[in-house]
Structure 1
Amino acid sequence: MTVALMWEARAAAGRGEDLLAWARGQALTPGPARRETFRAPQDRVLVITWWDAPYDAPLPELPEPDAELVTRVVHRWRFEAVTDG
């Protein structure tokens, strides 16, 4: 089964590049099968990781950044892949 973990945060005013650099610098051990990092308006950063694991498996996740780097708590979601057809 493939599980995708999504991690999304909004940077404090003027800290978008700092939050992006922080997220990109966070290592996950063991590493995921795939990892992508995105940015969006309002200094939002999204990280999606894909894992070959059961849905409820304990998996490493990005931590909460320091409070002065973000405007709110991090949003997290877990999804399982489904096949179309």
Structure 2
Amino acid sequence: MSFISRQKNGLLCRFSTVIDTVSDYNMTDEEYIEMCAQKAREEAQETLKHSLRPFEEVKASFVPTNMSRDEFNRILRLMEKE
């Protein structure tokens, strides 16, 4: 885990609670945002590469607690269009 802090010079640093020291420093807001965006891209790519499940599982997993069956079926028809 880690946390972000604003340094006295206005830039950002990241303190790692795993290694108990600073892991990144003197980052601009934009550099920090880009670092987070890159991690999100990598995580999304890993999900697409290794964690996709069959579409049939979507249908089999539905429980009409937070959405009516009619609404689910309406959306399902939209998703099944080619």
TM-score higher than 0.5 here?
Answer: no
In terms of fraction of residues, the more helix-rich structure is 2
Superposition TM-score, scaled by structure 1 size: 0.20
In terms of fraction of residues, the more strand-rich structure is 1
Superposition TM-score, scaled by structure 2 size: 0.21
Please tell me whether Structure 1 or Structure 2 has the larger radius of gyration of its CA atoms: 2
Relative contact order, higher structure (CA 8 A, sep 6+) = 1
